Structure 1
Amino acid sequence: MMSQISIQAHDLSMRFKDRLLFHVPQLTLGPSDAIYLTGDNGVGKTTLLKILSGLQKPTTGKVNLQNQSWLYRLFKGNTKGGIIYMHQTPYMFDGSVFDNVCYGLKFAIKDRQTRRSEAINALRMVGLETLADEHISVLSGGERQRVAMARAWVLKPSVLLMDESSASLDKESIERQVILAKDLLERGSTLVITSHQQNALTALCRRQWTISNTKLIERADLQLVTKDKNKDDYAFG
C-alpha cells in the first residue's frame, strides 16, 4: 500500500504584474479524490496544477503536503508514492519507448529485471508493448500521451495532475487512460483532471472545480456522472 498524501493550501494566489490570475482562500485534496478542473482559456488551470505539484511558486500562500514520505516531481525525484504532473504535450527523453517508461523506476526499483517487468506491463496496459524497443520519435502524439500515462502509472503516484492529457486523443487512447486512472483511484491516489471536453476520463470525477473571475468554485450539486446510452458524451446530474 502506497503512503498517501493529502494536499492543503491556504490563501493561495497567483499574480502576473498587475493582473490577479486567481485567489483561493482554502483548498483540500484527499486520497481517492477525483476532481474535474474547468475554466476558460487563460484563467490559470495549468498554473494551479503546477503550483500544487511544486513546479511553480505562488505569489501568496503555501501548499502543505500531509502524510508525505517522499515527493516525486516530474521525474526529478526518486521514488514512488509522490506527485506527478502530466502536461498536454509531455516531455519525452531521447531513447526508446521502454526507456521513457522505465526512467523513474531506475530510482525506485534497484533490480533491473523487476524494472523491465513493471515497465513492459505498463506498456501492455496502454497497448504499446510491441513498440517497447522503438525510438520514441516514431510515435504519434496520441501514442506519446499513452507513454506518458504508463510512465506516470508505473510509479503509483499518490497524486496525479492530468493537464489536458486527453486532448485530441482518439477513443481507444482515452479508454486506455481510464483503465490506469481507475486503478490508481482504487489504490487511493488522487486525480485532478483538466479538459475542455467531457469524456470517459472526466466521467471518473466526483468533484468539479471551476476557475472563474479569479475564484476557485466547487460545484456543490455535482452528482455521479452518467452517460447517455445513445450518445458518446457525458453529463453531470
Structure 2
Amino acid sequence: MLPLQVSNLSMQFKDKVLFHIPKLQLAPNEAVYLRGDNGVGKTTLLKILSGLIEPTAGSLSHSQSWLSRWFNPNKHGIVYLHQSPYLFDDTVYQNVLYAIKFAKLSRQEKRARVITALRKVGLETLADEHVSVLSGGEKQRIAMARAWIIKPAILLMDEPSSSLDLESISRLTLLAKELLEIGSSLVITSHQQNELTQLCSKQWWIKNHTLIESPLLQVIQDSSEPEQLHQTTVL
C-alpha cells in the first residue's frame, strides 16, 4: 500500500479556490520536488498532507505498516519540517530527545541515538547549549536531526535550505538519503536547486489552481518563467 494517496482534494478560502487536485499519490522511497510561484499553496498543501489543517474537500489515506515499531508524532508517521523550525525552550539535546521521549528504549539507548543524530548534523558539541544561542541554520539542522531520529514514513520539508550554507545543506542531504534508504518518502519545496532537490526523481507543480506531475528532468514550459527549474507534526 502506498504511504499517501489523495483524491479530489480542494482548498478554498472564502470564495477563492486555492487549488483542486483530482489525484495524487506518493510511493515509498520517493522524493518529490514541489514547485510553484509564491502564494499558490505549496505550504498549505504540505500542511494538509501532514494533517495540520483540513482541506475544504477531498480524501487522504495513509499507510505506515512498516513503521509500527517506531514512535511517531502522529498515527500516520508524517513529519512536517517547517521553514522556521519550532524548538522548545530547552537545550539542544532535550529538543532532539523529545522525538523519542516515549519510545520503549533505555536511557542509554536514547542518549546514543540523540548523540548520533547531533553528530550527523555537526552539532554534537552544542548538546548542552540552550537553543536560544543557535543561528537560524543551526536551528534547522536541529529540526532535521529530530525528524531523522523519528524515522518517519513521510517527511515534508518546507524550504529547508532557505537559511543554510552549503555545509548545512550537505548534512541535511545526508540524513534525507538515509531516510530514503529505509523506505521513507520525501516532499521538498525550494526556490533553489541544490543537493536536496537533486534527490528528487519527480516534480509536483502547482499551477492554475491544480497540480501537474512529471519526471523531474522534464521541464514544464511556462511563459511566465525561464525555461529552467527554479530552484504533520511541525519541527
Give the TM-score of the pair, scaled to structure 1.
Answer: 0.87
| 3-state SS of paired residue (1:150) | helix
Q: Structure 1: how far apart are the matches of 2:8 and 2:229?
A: 32
Instruction: Give the counterpart letter for 1:87 in structure 2.
Output: H
8 Å CA contact 1:126, 1:150 repeated in 2: yes
* 1:13 alignment counterpart: 10
* 1:23 alignment counterpart: 20
| 3-state SS of paired residue (2:150) | coil
Aligned-residue offset at 1:5 = 5.9
* 2:169 alignment counterpart: 174
> Does residue 129 of structure 1 match 2:145?
no
Q: Out of 25, 29, 33, which is 1:32 matched to?
A: 29
- Runs ≥4 in structure 1, deviation > 2 angstroms? 66-70
| 3-state SS of paired residue (2:132) | helix
8 Å CA contact 2:33, 2:188 repeated in 1: yes
> Does residue 107 of structure 1 match 2:89?
no
Deviation readout 1:102-161 (Å, 9 max, x if unpaired): 101012233111111000000000000000000011100000000000000011111000
* 1:230 alignment counterpart: none
Aligned residues: CA RMSD: 2.3
Q: Structure 2: how far apart are the matches of 1:223 and 1:203?
A: 10
* 1:223 alignment counterpart: 217
Query: Identity of aligned pairs, percent?
Result: 59
Q: Structure 1: how far apart are the matches of 2:164 and 2:139?
A: 10
Q: Structure 2: how far apart are the matches of 1:172 and 1:194?
A: 19
Q: Structure 2: how far apart are the matches of 1:154 and 1:204?
A: 20
Instruction: Give the counterpart letter for 2:90 in structure 1.
Output: G
Q: Structure 1: how far apart are the matches of 2:165 and 2:61?
A: 36
* 1:53 alignment counterpart: 50
* 2:204 alignment counterpart: 209
Q: For 1:84-123, what aligned pairs fall within 5 Å after superposition?
A: 84-123=79-118
> Does residue 200 of structure 1 match 2:207?
no
8 Å CA contact 2:3, 2:63 repeated in 1: yes
Q: Structure 1: how far apart are the matches of 2:97 and 2:170?
A: 22
8 Å CA contact 2:2, 2:25 repeated in 1: no
| 3-state SS of paired residue (1:219) | strand
Instruction: Give the counterpart letter for 2:122 in structure 1.
Output: G
Gaps of 5+ in 2: 219-227, 231-235
Instruction: Give the counterpart letter for 2:54 in structure 1.
Output: K
